Amino acid sequence: MVTFLRVSFPSFLGLLVLGVSLPVLADEARQKMRAARLPTTPPAQLALHATDPDWRVRREVASNRRAPREILRALAKDPRAEVKIAVATNLATDEATFLLLADDPDKTIRSVVARFEYVAPAALDKLARDPDPDIRLEVARGFNTRPETLKRLMNDAYPSIRQAAAQALASREAGRR
- State how far the alpha carbon of 77 is from the alpha carbons of 2, 61, 83, 92, 132, in Å: 39, 14, 9, 16, 21
Amino acid 173: pLDDT: 84
Residue of higher predicted confidence among 39 and 19: 39
Residue of higher predicted confidence among 116 and 18: 116
DSSP state of 17: E
Statement: residue 136 has pLDDT above 60: yes
Statement: residue 40 has pLDDT above 70: yes
- pLDDT averaged over every residue in the chain: 89
- Helix/strand number for the chain, H first, E second: 11, 2
Q: How many CB atoms lie under 10 A from the CB of residue 163?
A: 15
Average pLDDT over residues 16-30: 61
Instruction: Band the pLDDT of 25: cuts 50, 70, 90.
Output: low
Strand partners, 9: none
Average pLDDT over residues 93-117: 98
Statement: residue 23 has pLDDT above 70: no
Instruction: Band the pLDDT of 63: cuts 50, 70, 90.
Output: very high
Instruction: Band the pLDDT of 21: cuts 50, 70, 90.
Output: low
Instruction: Say what angle helices 95-102 and 107-115 make with each other, to 10 degrees.
Output: 140
